[in-house]
Structure 1
């Protein structure tokens, strides 16, 4: 099967995977993560590339697209020896993607997981290469923000740092399960874990974490739940037991204060001082087992590139995505309109054309005939040809004038309309009589009422005399809303946002230990009430907000929006005291368009 090779270097494409992206044929899966899926592909010259497609839910957010475009353009400026350069990209299409040079080697995470910690000389060369990569990345005005073992690839001539800066594009659109910034908790800096500004020094902290992982097989702050690891990063000292003495300087990278950490240039100097011999990258810088893996991947990639589907296909019709990037590969485009390209030479009019002439017989002088415009060359027969399926199409008359042999249809005799008008008059009289009877009945019902109003039941009675049909509920579990963020019920799923311009008109916001509704229509249910659409419609004890002190785990309240949505909110708890972030966790059941917009209830 394509993409599967001995040793499991490549995974085959799955049933839901695309086969091409912008003309690049996808040969195998390289991996997937929070941002998207990475595939193996090839340039027209046969050079392997890694092509990453972005998750659809991220591409729906305009802010993500804006940041993704900025970060990709900035990444083009990064041309270091220890980074994977950007080859091609598309940030505007329905499916954004990014292509970089392919690195034929395992990630540091998989290499250590399979073979154990690296020897000291390998760790020093790894550290020096990563520090040099950070120098180039920071020089381009980028902070990596998500440096971790899986984003460091081991090539035969040194490490490669990948995915630099791209995590920033997701920061404004997606929050992790604990409501903190995008990144891997075990490798975050203290300031990143606490939600403070990120600087290049944050990458140096992550570099120290990655070095500790490479030298001892585990991170410097242990494993476990994310909030526990983050707490140790912020409040406790790193655990470097078992780390060889030559690597003791890694502790400086893990200083709590960013200003106390060394720069990437200083780290390179520290690596040189710790090495008994000059640092030189070569083909033997890694243990033999990892070097063998790299050799297998190079062979497998070459074998995939040599398959007929990779080299014998005609060139795609789509232009190169980026004018300054690598040209589109020679793999065929799978879009339906591209298939006829192979038949471009077939330009002569087929024999079926002459019989079609009677269909377009000469028009009369009242309608000069304009011949149809010829179709594009190579895209099948002209539009006036007889179809190749079904019975022959009947000749269609022209828009103006008459064809030979045309006869008008017989005109029906005029009808006597007197009876019709008499019937309309009788119906109108009966309709007026019926309306008058209905009005009398309604007036009688109104006179017999007790005149009471303002209660929960009567308040909803006038608005729900003919209630809207019950919409289908949609449920979302575990929505975490940080302090200062809000959600809109029209979003699917509702994503926390921090746009100050819309905060006070939001459907549900979290601010200063309160949950607020921009429509001032929140109803806290008591323990005896069953949360349902019926309950939310009937309860009118509206309030502007609900204090977190009023809620316990399992408490429910209804929220009515000005756009007609109704939500039943179930409180699941707040961030624990040990967690540096501040958020509430909610379950939402939303009935969209459950009442008239701007209804006052």
Structure 2
């Protein structure tokens, strides 16, 4: 295989980071208005495209809030014609997003290099992009920036990328300072004139994509942004070079009135009707010249080399003899770095302790190496020791001399004085302390339960009330101290996502099939797009909608008995309080603060939470 093209994989520059989020960067794939894209690899060797957001956006708190919302929504998009989100960090100094690497040119690059595509390729392109938009819209996202640069041409069909991310920058202060969001040549007229964005906005962009792929140029021409936007709003597109079989599809998609544009289902049906032969995605869907660009992108550069292992430890005989020091310096010596901690299971390097050298007599013994849990790769240059033995072995580490090791002194050194076995003394002392503690507790208890039984009531019930920790301890008698609440403000809970009260901070996540099963969710927000049903629910506890006269508190939630497992969103107003009583023993007051607007690409509600963790005994299933 020949070397990869330097035009496709640019080397890292002096301003490029070497590692982002635990991923070692290999090459630069490209740069855009919102950030720079790098090639990297997962621990298993899969290539990924990692986009690092520009510093100007990173410093805007509104951008960070929206970026976090959109990335979490994008995680739900798992279509055949999209690049799935692999990993992300929205809270670091430079937010970033990693998706699967697609070995194919963008539509913009392919047209620039080879001109327009034949009609069959264009129809297959339209079908694939329409299917991608169907999945994206189904997740409550509007792409907002569908353009040729965001459609990649893979061997088995197109891939739509960067869906929904443009929304994060729409409301930032940067949009008025030379940072453009969205591409004018592919912007819908309603967005260009009034800023209105709906799912039909993406349909207009799809029509533009189809025309561009067939003609080899934008349907509304090129030039300055203002000139192009004026033509989109006030003039008709130039479709004179468009093949006749594609004209009905493009004309309907480019309708100035969003209501006149076809649905995605109609677009797919039209493509099949317009094709003289059945449409089937396959290796031959692209012209041979364009397919050659895919081959080039499969010739990836090798992953960046990991740092070399630390220098080999000296053999025991290299330590000079002498009496052990009273105050030994720290061990291992300075310079042995510890790998960065992971932030996403399965995708970052697991932190492994630096290789330990065998200490001379008098130095404190070092703890054994930790073995990474399943799914984390072992670090190059850091061998895993045998269970119970902390001295590393393998290439680069000395072999101990015969007779040297646990229980054996180094040659030339006196055997250390025998140490008493203190394990037995510790165990014996613990047993004695336990017996004394039990005796003290028994001496403080009231007289036996038999006397209480004689005074009236069942002996079992009386015993339960008088015994600390018994089933009746929540009433009179001793009980656990109330925990202090933890407060969390402005949590945006996306539709078909759930919260777990034990998490700190609570982070929305999927707990099962979107919108259907939430397994063990303490609190979830559900939106049925077919019937318009929106509600809060729980599959792991009970909910109580408090009256306006009630003040949400731990005592109020404990006293309530009007339990339910679902509350309709139409029952809530700004400031409504809901008690959430988790089967795990956590209690929370959720304060409703509103929902997303009609033009928001994703559907979500905003909540404030006060959580008293472990406020009750956990419920056990019978």
TM-score, scaled relative to structure 2: 0.51
Structure 2 CA distance for aligned equivalents of residues 310 and 258 of structure 1: 55
What's 2:262 paired with? 262
Q: SS of the residue aligned with 2:266?
A: helix
User: Which of the numbers 293, 302, 305 marks the counterpart of 1:304?
Assistant: 302
What's 1:321 paired with? 343
Equivalences for residues 503-518 of structure 1 within 5 A? none
- 1:186·1:230 contact (CA, 8 Å) conserved in 2? yes
Q: Which runs of 5+ in 2 are unaligned?
A: 311-335, 365-389, 392-622
Q: SS of the residue aligned with 1:327?
A: coil
Deviations 1:421-473 (A, max 9, x none): xxxxxxxxxxxxxxxxxxxxxxxxxxxxxxxxxxxxxxxxxxxxxxxxxxxxx
Offset, 1:180: 10
What's 1:163 paired with? 162
Structure 1 CA distance for aligned equivalents of residues 170 and 361 of structure 2: 58
- 2:85·2:97 contact (CA, 8 Å) conserved in 1? yes
What's 2:72 paired with? 73
Q: SS of the residue aligned with 2:37?
A: strand
TM-score, scaled relative to structure 1: 0.53
Offset, 1:310: 9.9
What's 1:531 paired with? none
Equivalences for residues 93-492 of structure 1 within 5 A? 93-176=92-175, 182-248=181-247, 249-298=249-298, 300-301=299-300, 303-305=301-303, 308-309=305-306, 317-323=339-345, 326-329=346-349, 343-346=354-357, 348=359
Offset, 1:317: 3.4
- 1:154·1:160 contact (CA, 8 Å) conserved in 2? yes
Offset, 1:197: 2.1
Offset, 1:213: 0.6
Offset, 1:293: 1.4
Residues 114, 20 of structure 1: alpha-carbon distance in 2 compared, 3 angstrom cutoff: same
Structure 2 CA distance for aligned equivalents of residues 290 and 222 of structure 1: 24
Offset, 1:8: 2.4
Residues 27, 146 of structure 1: alpha-carbon distance in 2 compared, 3 angstrom cutoff: same
Deviations 1:121-161 (A, max 9, x none): 11000000000000000000000000000000010000000
- 2:339·2:349 contact (CA, 8 Å) conserved in 1? no
Residues 162, 271 of structure 1: alpha-carbon distance in 2 compared, 3 angstrom cutoff: same
Residues 50, 180 of structure 1: alpha-carbon distance in 2 compared, 3 angstrom cutoff: closer
Residues 269, 4 of structure 1: alpha-carbon distance in 2 compared, 3 angstrom cutoff: same
What's 2:583 paired with? none
- 1:193·1:234 contact (CA, 8 Å) conserved in 2? yes
Q: SS of the residue aligned with 2:152?
A: strand
> Larger % of helix: which?
1
Residues 329, 294 of structure 1: alpha-carbon distance in 2 compared, 3 angstrom cutoff: farther
Offset, 1:4: 7.7
Structure 2 CA distance for aligned equivalents of residues 316 and 156 of structure 1: 41
- 1:75·1:165 contact (CA, 8 Å) conserved in 2? yes
Offset, 1:15: 1.4
* Paired residues, number: 340
Structure 1 CA distance for aligned equivalents of residues 208 and 3 of structure 2: 33
Residues 329, 251 of structure 1: alpha-carbon distance in 2 compared, 3 angstrom cutoff: farther
Q: SS of the residue aligned with 2:302?
A: helix
- 1:143·1:165 contact (CA, 8 Å) conserved in 2? yes
Larger Rg: 1
Q: SS of the residue aligned with 1:250?
A: helix
Residues 177, 63 of structure 1: alpha-carbon distance in 2 compared, 3 angstrom cutoff: closer
Deviations 1:48-100 (A, max 9, x none): 00000000110111110000000000000000000000000000111110000
- 1:117·1:216 contact (CA, 8 Å) conserved in 2? yes
Structure 1 CA distance for aligned equivalents of residues 83 and 121 of structure 2: 20
Which has the higher mean CA deviation after the structures are superposed, 204-213 or 308-317? 308-317
Structure 2 CA distance for aligned equivalents of residues 77 and 239 of structure 1: 37
Deviations 1:280-305 (A, max 9, x none): 1111111111111111211x22x424
Q: Which runs of 5+ in 1 are unaligned?
A: 331-337, 354-376, 379-601
Offset, 1:312: 9.6
Structure 2 CA distance for aligned equivalents of residues 49 and 168 of structure 1: 23
- 1:23·1:316 contact (CA, 8 Å) conserved in 2? no
Is 1:31 paired with 2:27? no
Structure 1 CA distance for aligned equivalents of residues 209 and 180 of structure 2: 19
Deviations 1:29-60 (A, max 9, x none): 11001110000000111000000000011011
- 1:84·1:102 contact (CA, 8 Å) conserved in 2? yes
Structure 2 CA distance for aligned equivalents of residues 21 and 214 of structure 1: 35
Offset, 1:9: 2.3
Structure 2 CA distance for aligned equivalents of residues 87 and 194 of structure 1: 36
